[in-house]
Amino acid sequence: MSSTVFPSAANGSPASSSPIVDPFGRSVSYLRVSVTDRCDFRCVYCMAEDMTFLPKAEVLSLEELDRICSAFVGLGVSKLRLTGGEPLVRKGIMNLIRSLGRHLGSGALKELTLTTNGSQLERYAAELYEAGVRRINVSIDTLDPHKFEAITRWGKLDKVLAGLKAAREAGLAVKINCVALKGVNDDEFHRLVAWCGDEGFDLTFIEVMPMGDIGGEARLDQYLPLSLVRSRIAERWTLNEIDYTTGGPARYVEVRETGRRIGFITPLTHNFCESCNRVRLTCTGTLYMCLGQEDAADLRSPVRMSDDDALLVDRIREAISRKPKGHDFVIDRRGKSAPVPRHMSVTGG
């Protein structure tokens, strides 16, 4: 595969004497990185329509993102997922992806992947595969073009479907992420299962996560427990329990009629923290040890203070020593505010 290595990262990852382990004995092997807070959609459960985005000076450069990711790889992280906002709208993003691909070649990294809304896939799918990406998650909450536009505010379903076609032709495995929204897409679950079976995609349902001010939408109005989603699906489809994981929080079953998998991510009805191996880096260099907690560490300062990674590695280790046992997600029954004030687009989906 072709590669682009940033000058500051030419020597690869820093050596590590030991992997990073949190206070509860969980090895941190999975880093999710928001490469931008910007997006070309405005999904109703993720963003307000009139968003104010971060000043450029606060956002990590691609070289800085590469350096921090490489430090984590040196500390035992074997899976990197790039997120946003929408990662593929970041200018020069393929340079970063190609550069990080060198860790796949060395064997230090097992998987480099990304979560995308699919709007740019038609353009980038082949390049992603060439850079070493083999699997992607694409967010689609409805197969109805009018509902799709209403949910995303700015998105066009036909453009995303064209991107999925390009991804499949490029050789990328696709998993569809669907946020379960009461009164919005709860009449489409069987259609989504059938469509994913026909297309050869796995499917994951996700509960609404109470993050950020989304402009008056009530979380309680959107919230649909996945226990109910699963029971509805089981009315028509045979769901077999399987021992399968991608390293993330989803619990999977296999649909006997299609041979495809369905995952359920349940941050509210079932806390998935006991085996958490993940941390999240924002595009500003803030490391969140837990999606549902506000405690964080600044990694931008050590990167900009020194060309040596010793301070950065020390900061990472200290942060992981504060990783909590679990998150504090809860739907506010009064609908007043989100328990976590930052938007999902800032933290990384």
244 is in an annotated binding site: no
Sign of the Cα torsion 60, 63, 64, 70 reads positive
User: Own/partner pairs for 47-50, CB < 8 Å, 24+ apart?
Assistant: 47/212, 47/214, 47/343, 47/345, 48/212, 48/213, 48/214, 48/215, 49/153, 49/215, 50/215
18 is in an annotated binding site: no
Calpha distance 32→348 (Å, rounded): 7
153 is in an annotated binding site: no
39 is in an annotated binding site: yes
45 is in an annotated binding site: yes
- pLDDT (tens digit, 0 to 9) for every residue of the chain, 349 residues total? 556 777 655 544 545 558 898 888 889 999 999 999 988 877 777 767 667 778 888 999 999 999 999 999 999 999 999 999 999 999 999 999 999 999 999 999 999 999 999 999 999 999 999 999 999 999 999 999 999 999 888 889 999 999 999 999 999 999 999 999 999 999 999 999 999 999 999 999 998 865 444 444 455 577 888 999 999 999 999 999 999 887 677 889 999 999 999 999 886 544 556 678 889 999 999 999 887 677 899 999 999 999 999 999 999 999 999 987 775 545 444 444 445 454 455 555 5
46 is in an annotated binding site: yes
342 is in an annotated binding site: no
CA trace torsion 58, 343, 96, 118 (10° rounding): -140
Radius of gyration of the chain (CA): 19
pLDDT tens for each residue of 196-207? 999 999 999 998
Residue 101 per-residue DSSP state: T
290 is in an annotated binding site: yes
32 is in an annotated binding site: yes
178 is in an annotated binding site: no
pLDDT of amino acid 212: 47
Residue-by-residue DSSP string for 220-258: HHH---HHHHHHHHHTTS-EEE-----SSS-EEEEETTT
276 is in an annotated binding site: yes
pLDDT of amino acid 336: 47
184 is in an annotated binding site: no
280 is in an annotated binding site: yes
At what angle are helices 121-130 and 93-100 packed, to 10 degrees? 20
Token representation of residue 107: 């064997």
255 is in an annotated binding site: no
26 is in an annotated binding site: no
